[in-house]
Structure 1
C-alpha cells in the first residue's frame, strides 16, 4: 500500500453510504490495487488552529502524530475500546508511518461542537477532509481521513455537470419531477441517456423480484435462507463473514443488499428466486434493454468474469460485448470461480468497457424506483419503503425519507434517488447520476456534485 492510499484509509468503522459509496461497492478508497484519479496540486489557503475542546485536542494530537511529534505507542488513552478493536494499535502505527511520509500536514480550517468535528488539511499538494467524533470521556471513537472533493459548490446545472466531470469524464444526469401517474417532467437532462453501466443499482431489480415473490406467497419476509459457501462474494457487505449454514431471513438479506450493498446477500437472494425470475421482474420494473442484463449476473459471477485472471475469464471478457445471450451463458459457464472472488483485483481495469456488468438507461433506473414504490403500497410489502430509505442517501433539507441506491465499480459510479414531494409541491422528485471513465472515479467529487444536483432539484417549484 503506497503513501497516497494511506491517507484515504478509514481509521475507524466509518463507511460510505454510497454502496458503497462511497463504497463504492464497499471498497474503501484505500483498497489495495486502486489508483486515485489525477488531480491538480493545491496549496493551503490558510493556517488554522484546533479549538480547545475535546475534539480539538484530539485533532491536534492526531495531526502532531501525522507530522513530527514523537510517536505515541500507547494509544489506549486516546481511542475507545471499540475503535481499537476495529483498528488495533499495531495497525494504527503502520498507517501512521504511511501518513508521516506525506508530512507536513497543514490544517486549513476546522469546526467542532465538542463531540464531533471536521477539518480540511493539505499534504503534498492534495486536500483532505478529517472528521472525528469522541465519546463522553473525550476519547476518539470515530475518525475518517479522505481526499476532499474538487471544485466549488454548484448552483446551476451546467456547474453540476462541470463538477461531476472533474470526477468522471462521461456523466449522465436525469433530474425530474414525477406525476401521480408516474409520468416524468424533466427538470434537467444531460449526457448520454442510452444504456449505461449501473453498477449495484441492479439490486433494485433483485429487490423487485423478491417483493413480487413475497406478494405472491412464494416467499415471506421472515422465511429463513441458509447461507452457503457458493453464496459468498466480495468485496462489499458483512454477510460473507458469517459461517456456512447461517440462517438469514429474506427481510435481513434484502435490507443488507440495499442498505450496505451486501453482495453476498444479493447472491443469496438471487439463488432463492432464480435468474429468470429476476429478469422477468426487471422487465415489469421498466427494463427495456434485456441485452444489458442477460445473463443477469450475480455479484460473484461478475467479479470472477470481470476481474479473474484465468485464461477462461480473459477469453470471456474479450468476447463478451459481441456475444449473444446463448454464447455469453456458455462463456460464463467456463469461467472458474473457486472462492468468494479473485484475491488480486486490478481496479485500474474497467470491465464495463467490455460489456461486463449490468446496464440500463437513467430513465429505466427511475422506473425501477417507481415500480418498487408502487409495490410498497401493498400492505404485505410495506417493509420495502424502510429497506429503500434506511441508508439515508444525501442530506437535502427538503428531501425526507428518500429512497436511495448507489453503486460503483472500477471506472463507474452510479447514484439514484426517489424523494417525496418537497414542502410546497405535490410532485415526487427523481435523480439519477452516472459517471464513467477509463480509470477509477473520484468518488468524493462525484458525490459532492450529486449533492449539488439534489439541492437544485429540491428547490425546483
Structure 2
C-alpha cells in the first residue's frame, strides 16, 4: 500500500579502480572480464561523487536526460551528508563485460552500487544505482544478534527475525511473535490466495477482471475506462512490483474478503484475527482520513459484524475525495489499531509457504512475481541466486521482508518491522540495519 521506495541514484555504469587501496575483484560468473572501460568509468564516478569530474564525459546523453544535472547534484549532496567524502572502491563484482556491482568506501560508511556501460564506444555510463547506504557504526555490526540489539535500540518498537528455512529455530529474533503494523506487506496474503485458487483449478493466471467503474485508490488501473479487461497475472505483478493499490483492491474484490481472511492461517499467520475484516487499501484510507479519522473511530467501536456492515454500507458509499490529504503532515494515524498486522514469525512463515512451492508451476510463477522488485536485496546482485521482497510503510510504520536463496542453495527469510505511533520512523537507518542483516545472513 504505502511503499517505501527511496531510489537513490538510478543508472548503469562500470566498475573500477580504488583510489586509496587495492581493488578486490570478484566474479559472479566464471571468466567474466573486468574491462578497462569499467575501471575507467568507475574512477570517474568516484570523482563525480565528490563534486568533481565532467558528467558530460562520463554519462551518456540518455542518462543525463533521465537524470538531469540538478537532480544528480541533489542526490550527491544527500549522499555526502550521510557518508562524507567518497574514499574509494573496496571491491567490484563484474556481472558481464559492461555491468558490475561495487562496494564504495566513504569517510563515514559504505554503500553498494550497480553500474553498467553502453556497449558502444566510448562506453559511457548508461545507468547508476547507489543503494545500501550504511554508516560506519552499522557496517561494524559483526553478528545478527548485534543487528537485533540495534533494532531494539531504535525509537518506537521493532521486531526482527532471520530464519534459515532448513532450521527449526531462527538465527536471530527480536519480538518474533509480537504483532506489528506492516503496511503493504499484507499483499503477500492476497498473492498467496491467488496462487491457492489457481492451484485448485478455480482460476488461471490469464483470467481477466473487467473494470466496472468502481472507484479505486491511486495506481495504474484507476484511470482505465470501464470495460477494460486486466489479467490476474498483471494485477499480481503490479501489486508486488510497485505495490499498486488499485491492483490490490481489484484482486481483493475478485478473490473475496472471506477467502483472503481464511488464507492467513494457511500461510502461517498466527495472529490473523487482528486483520478481520481484511481491509482494502481504499477502505483503510477512508477509515483513517474521513472526518479527521472519525469514521475510523466509529468503525473501531464496532464488533466484527458491525465492522463488516460499516464496510459494506457507510464506508463503501463514502467517496474517495472525502479522505482529503491523508499523511500530509507525516504523522502516524491510528497505526496501533487500524492497519494490517503480522509478527516477524508470521511473515517468515508466509515466505516459507511461497518457497515450499518452488517446484510447482504456480509456485515458480509466484516466486518470479516476488522477485520483480527485490527491494533492499537489490544490493546483493551477484551474491545470491534469488531475492524476493515485499515491504510496506506509512508514517510511523515500516516493514521489509526478503526471501533469499544463497549461491549454496540455502533459503533464508529476513524480516523487520518498526512502529512508532508518535512520529515517523528513521527510514534511512532502518534500511541500513536491514541491509547489514542481509549481508550477515548470507555469510551464514
**Pairwise same-fold verdict (TM > 0.5):** yes
- Alignment pair present for 1:108 and 2:106: no
- Alignment pair present for 1:417 and 2:402: yes
Q: What is the rounded CA distance, in whole Å, between the counterparts of 2:79 and 2:407 in structure 1?
A: 45
Secondary structure class of the residue paired with 2:320? coil
- Alignment pair present for 1:210 and 2:194: yes
Bigger relative contact order (CA 8 A; separation at least 6): 1
Q: What is the rounded CA distance, in whole Å, between the counterparts of 2:208 and 2:115 in structure 1?
A: 37
Shift of residue 194 of structure 1?
A: 1.9
Secondary structure class of the residue paired with 2:209? strand
Map 1:5-404; keep pairs closer than 5 Å: 23-24=3-4, 26=5, 53-54=40-41, 56-57=43-44, 60=47, 64=51, 82-83=62-63, 86=66, 93=70, 107-111=85-89, 133=115, 135-136=117-118, 137=122, 141-142=126-127, 148-150=133-135, 151-153=137-139, 154-165=141-152, 168-179=155-166, 184-191=168-175, 193-227=177-211, 230=214, 232-234=216-218, 238-240=220-222, 245-306=227-288, 308=289, 310-311=290-291, 314-321=293-300, 323-332=302-311, 333-335=313-315, 336-338=318-320, 342-343=324-325, 345-346=327-328, 348-392=330-374, 394=377, 395=380, 399-404=384-389
Shift of residue 294 of structure 1?
A: 1.8
RMSD: 4.4
Partner of 1:39: none
Contact 1:80 1:140 in 2 (8 A): yes
- TM-score norm. by structure 1 comes to 0.69
Structure 1 residues 352 and 418, CA, compared in 2 at 3 Å: closer, same or farther?
farther
Q: What is the rounded CA distance, in whole Å, between the counterparts of 1:78 and 1:62 in structure 2?
A: 12
Shift of residue 436 of structure 1?
A: 1.8
Secondary structure class of the residue paired with 2:252? helix
Structure 1 residues 345 and 77, CA, compared in 2 at 3 Å: closer, same or farther?
farther
Partner of 1:408: 393
Q: What is the rounded CA distance, in whole Å, between the counterparts of 1:174 and 1:459 in structure 2?
A: 16
- TM-score norm. by structure 2 comes to 0.71
Q: What is the rounded CA distance, in whole Å, between the counterparts of 1:367 and 1:340 in structure 2?
A: 37
The number of residues matched between the two structures is 399
Shift of residue 203 of structure 1?
A: 1.0
Unaligned 5+ residue runs, structure 2?
9-18, 21-37, 93-97
